[in-house]
Structure 1
Amino acid sequence: MMIRSLLVSLLLGVATASAGPVVTPGSKTLPLPGEAFQLNGHDAFVILPPDAKEGIPWVWYAPTLRGLPAKSEVWMFERFLAKGIAIAGVDVGESFGSPKGTELYTAFYNHLVKKRQFRKKPCLLARSRGGLMLYSWAVQHPQSVGGVAGIYPVCNIASYPGLGRAAGAYGLTAEQLKEELTKHNPIDRLKPLAKAGVPVFHIHGDSDKVVPLEANSAELAKRYRKFGGPVEIEVVKGQGHNMWEGWFRSQKLTDFAIARALGQPLESDKAAVRLPKPIAHWKLDDEGDVARDSAGTHHGKIVGAERAPGKVGKSLEFVRKEGDHVEIPYAEDFALSTFTVSAWVHLSREPTFSGILGTRHGGDHTFDMKVNAAKVHGDIGDGRSWIETAVNFYADDTGTNGEGGDLAVKRWYHIVYVIDSARQECRLYLDADLKKRIAFKGKPVLMTPANTMHFGHSSGTEFMDGMIDEVKIWNQALTSEQVQTEMTAAADTRDSK
């Protein structure tokens, strides 16, 4: 009799498992009209747009612990709904990205896709600890993710909640979790997601003490880029881990989630396609003593510098003590007050005001950019006086990729200066990562008729020891997305030794 009962129980268990998750009515309070239900005994919800039809795009929100989502999210949610996008989530408790939580997420995903005709690629929207939950699922299912948006998301178990607190959710001791951390930690498992090309966008405060920027979003961005994944982190100055309204009313985050849920190109994708043609482009590949401008007729004279392996093709190698440089004469289309200058730079020794580009030759108070110990430095002027002489980013201006102005020798860096007179600001980039915004007042000028432009020499004795490649000038202020596109356009990414 006992054997028969056991057999019946097993058969019923198989039948229940094959039938999928158990879905029953729920009572979760939602901030907008929607349906609350329970999935395998866990609170879940969907908030549908008007006239929802088969193939519903959706945003998957986490965490959805008791009381979440709340009124704070209404502004975002209303904009999703207006675009025909549903919002959904399931409460996996304090699972901290453990298998128990990801298994429930898989059941929830399958239920929505197979039973409710939701699309197969939602945009994941992770706030705080929701990062552990959603990223742990996403790295296992990269082909089922349209994008990942984050509001100060946890990406690193060691950072939050810490190994001691998280271990129980994994059925491990803290020591065991430490030994197996790379198997479970989202930040150590990003490669499949990056290789699938899943776009990521986070907003994160630089004063967050609960989920520190450096150990979470910034570290994720650094690793994600290493694997070739598209990622952008917007750092909010002075904000911590809080319910500040700006987190939930970020137009950029909302637009990102909408685009990824709908499977539409991001604004950054469009900007990449619309990268404008520079007014001058010196590839520095040609033999001889002429630096040819492939975008126009601004050809220059090479003084002393020799050809060397470059970031793309060949470069010019400059020796400081020899006074090596390139001279470019003035042209009317260089009389710019808004412009962008970019160059690839490879230092051969520790820098001491190593000039990249300067127009202060024959006159002064115009423009230069150079590298010094622990900073990348620039000056802008109006041709008569200086407007700003500390257009710098320093060693501690690490942005989102962890690298500041203290440049290492024998590796290539992409340096971009954007002088935006309309906004009265300079934007400084290192390897497409925005390091500094510097406000100014006035009307800067790139060159005046009295000036000559030099590469490898900014002014006075400020000559370069190292290589320079792919120097470009635009007559407009490039956006962050365009700077990213410009950097990735470099076909040869091998560091010269």
Structure 2
Amino acid sequence: MKHLLSLLCATGMLAGLVQPALGSVSLLDGLSFYLDFEGSAPVDTSGKNVVVTNSGVTSNTLTGHYGAIAGVAGNAGFFNRADKDWLQIGLGYGKLAADPAPQPLAYSFTISAWYYMQPESAPTDRLFLYEGDVDYDLSFGIRGDLASSNGSYVGTAYNPGKTNYDVSNAAYYDTTTNEGAWQQVVETFSSDGTTVTKKLYLNGELVGTTSTMAQGSLYSPAINLGTFRDNNGRYWDGFMDEVGLWNRALTDVEISDLYDLTYIDGLSVTSLAPEPSRAVLLLLGIVGLHLRRSRRRA
């Protein structure tokens, strides 16, 4: 018993001092969709049972595909550009003026996805990781850097209302997006009731913020993975893993935590369940110390 009390005391106080802060709100709060590609077919594992329309995408261990790479956490989804593979998530955002109510994600939401682009992709192609089914306010794509001869790629998220891929029209435009490597992209949309601000994060770090757009211009009844809004071209070529949607804008701290957690374990109830607070852990240590001293006096 003495050793148990000592362990309780030491563990509680030490954990209370060194436990990392994972943000005040659990990453499970507002989770509306999650696709981990662990089953035999793409299925929402958030518990919300969102419909995923499949057009050829397979979930596998990746063995035999382009050097047998592994997913970020377990398996990943394989998107073959030659086969025109893509998915559609039956979850919308924003609202049409004629609609009585907004789509489930409304005007403040977050999308997160890990991606791996194949080295075989042609440098001049535009390959879309995701985009809204009817507009491109929500959009992230990769294309060859036409200004360079080294085959490097740029990652681009559109500014609202813009129509071209160039530095003045992108929330993020950089030549550090490489082929053959896992990277994470997160986009957040935050509404103040009138306007919406979009932010783009790469590997847990903020890399771009758009000017605000009119809240009324934001709308799509579904989200496409692996193709652009017209569902008939610019297909993703490679893999995708750990795709999540939240009905709120995640904070900078939460996005950093999300990057760390999914890179290690994938998003799960276990990995994202709220940790005991420092106060609780310290209290356990104090209680253990008090009980130990009480036994000594007895």
Q: Do these two structures clear the TM 0.5 threshold for a shared fold by scoring above it? A: yes
Offset from partner CA, 1:161-180 (integer Å, 9 cap, x none): xxxxxxxxxxxxxxxxxxxx
Cα distance, 1:348–1:272 mapped onto 2, change above 3 Å: farther
- Where in structure 2 are there 5+ consecutive unaligned residues? 1-16, 63-69, 93-101, 145-152, 267-298
Q: Where does 1:166-205 land on structure 2 (aligned, <5 Å)? A: none
Q: Which residue of structure 1 lines up, in the alignment, with residue 215 of structure 2? A: 443
Give the match's secondary structure for 1:420: strand
Distance (whole Å) between structure 1 residues aligned to residue 80 and residue 24 of structure 2: 35
Distance (whole Å) between structure 1 residues aligned to residue 205 and residue 118 of structure 2: 23
Offset from partner CA, 1:332-371 (integer Å, 9 cap, x none): 65352111110000111346321111222xx335522212
Give the match's secondary structure for 1:298: coil
Deviation at 1:379, TM superposition (A): 3.3
Name the count of aligned residue pairs: 212
Tell me if structure 2 keeps the 8 A contact 1:282–1:291.
Answer: yes
Deviation at 1:424, TM superposition (A): 4.0
Tell me if structure 1 keeps the 8 A contact 2:57–2:79.
Answer: yes
Deviation at 1:291, TM superposition (A): 2.7
Q: TM-score, normalised by structure 1?
A: 0.39
Offset from partner CA, 1:246-270 (integer Å, 9 cap, x none): xxxxxxxxxxxxxxxxx7988xx25
Distance (whole Å) between structure 1 residues aligned to residue 50 and residue 75 of structure 2: 19
1:371 aligns with 2:124: no
Q: Which residue of structure 1 lines up, in the alignment, with residue 51 of structure 2? A: 299
Give the match's secondary structure for 2:214: coil
Q: Which residue of structure 2 lines up, in the alignment, with residue 322 of structure 1? A: 83
Distance (whole Å) between structure 2 residues aligned to residue 414 and residue 335 of structure 1: 21
Give the match's secondary structure for 1:371: strand
Offset from partner CA, 1:295-349 (integer Å, 9 cap, x none): 4111312211222341111111111122100122245653521111100001113
Offset from partner CA, 1:401-454 (integer Å, 9 cap, x none): xxxx53111111010111122374221111101111222231166643xx4322
1:478 paired residue among 227, 242, 250? 250
Cα distance, 1:273–1:329 mapped onto 2, change above 3 Å: closer
* Residue type of the alignment partner of 1:337: Y
Distance (whole Å) between structure 1 residues aligned to residue 212 and residue 132 of structure 2: 19
Distance (whole Å) between structure 1 residues aligned to residue 191 and residue 202 of structure 2: 21
Cα distance, 1:333–1:432 mapped onto 2, change above 3 Å: same
Distance (whole Å) between structure 2 residues aligned to residue 445 and residue 466 of structure 1: 32
Q: Which residue of structure 1 lines up, in the alignment, with residue 178 of structure 2? A: 408
Q: Which residue of structure 2 lines up, in the alignment, with residue 393 of structure 1? A: 172
Q: Which residue of structure 1 lines up, in the alignment, with residue 132 of structure 2? A: 359
1:344 aligns with 2:151: no
Tell me if structure 2 keeps the 8 A contact 1:354–1:465.
Answer: yes
Distance (whole Å) between structure 2 residues aligned to residue 379 and residue 430 of structure 1: 15
* Residue type of the alignment partner of 2:31: P
1:417 paired residue among 187, 196, 211? 187
1:284 aligns with 2:37: yes
* Residue type of the alignment partner of 1:319: N
Tell me if structure 1 keeps the 8 A contact 2:159–2:171.
Answer: no
Distance (whole Å) between structure 1 residues aligned to residue 176 and residue 172 of structure 2: 9
Q: Which structure features the higher share of helix residues?
A: 1
Give the match's secondary structure for 2:255: helix
* Residue type of the alignment partner of 2:107: S
Cα distance, 1:442–1:291 mapped onto 2, change above 3 Å: same
Distance (whole Å) between structure 2 residues aligned to residue 328 and residue 355 of structure 1: 15
Cα distance, 1:303–1:446 mapped onto 2, change above 3 Å: farther
Give the match's secondary structure for 1:488: helix
Distance (whole Å) between structure 2 residues aligned to residue 455 and residue 471 of structure 1: 9
Tell me if structure 2 keeps the 8 A contact 1:387–1:441.
Answer: no
Q: Which residue of structure 2 lines up, in the alignment, with residue 100 of structure 1? A: none
Q: TM-score, normalised by structure 2?
A: 0.62
